[in-house]
């Protein structure tokens, strides 16, 4: 249903380095790069993910209660996503693991990027 999503960033170069590694761990590839937009996609997916500088030229910030979740192929990809995020300057919001009470089993990891955007990678296996 979602065609594309965007996250605001303050330092495009820093953000590109972070998301190249984090989304690469999930099979994503950067396919659009400019001074104001950087886009990612994954083979077979119709949706796109973009990094952007805010249109109003104000500082980008993470929204309270806002999170983007990325579907992973397996638990190893969730683990790789989390490790890449921490190595790239992200912060842990919940280490990889099974979340209780979810059926089927929900294995996820949660991080924040340098701009405070909350991200999740998960698999239902």
- Give the CATH number of domain 4-55+70-123; options: 3.90.45.10, 3.40.50.1110, 3.40.1640.10, 3.10.180.10: 3.10.180.10
Note the pLDDT tens digit of each residue in 84-113: 999 999 999 999 999 877 677 899 999 999
The pair of three-digit structure tokens given for residue 3, joined into one six-digit string: 């065609």
Model confidence, pTM: 0.90
Residue 65 has pLDDT above 90, yes or no: no
Strand order in the sheet with 29-33: 4-8, 48-52, 37-41, 29-33
Given a cut of 90, whether residue 125 has pLDDT beyond it is no
Q: Which helix (H) or strand (E) holds 6?
A: strand 4-8
């Amino acid at each position: 249903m979602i065609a594309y999503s965007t996250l605001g960033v303050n330092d495009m170069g820093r953000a590109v380095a972070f998301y190249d590694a984090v989304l690469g761990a999930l099979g994503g590839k950067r396919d659009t790069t400019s001074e104001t937009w950087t886009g990612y996609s994954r083979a077979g997916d119709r949706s796109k993910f973009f990094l952007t500088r805010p249109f109003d030229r104000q500082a980008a910030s993470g929204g309270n209660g806002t999170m983007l979740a990325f579907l992973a192929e397996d638990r190893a990809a969730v683990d790789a996503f989390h490790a890449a995020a921490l190595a790239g300057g992200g912060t842990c919001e919940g280490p990889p693991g099974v979340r209780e009470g979810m059926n089927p089993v929900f294995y996820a990891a949660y991080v924040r990027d340098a701009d405070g955007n909350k991200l999740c990678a998960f698999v239902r296996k």
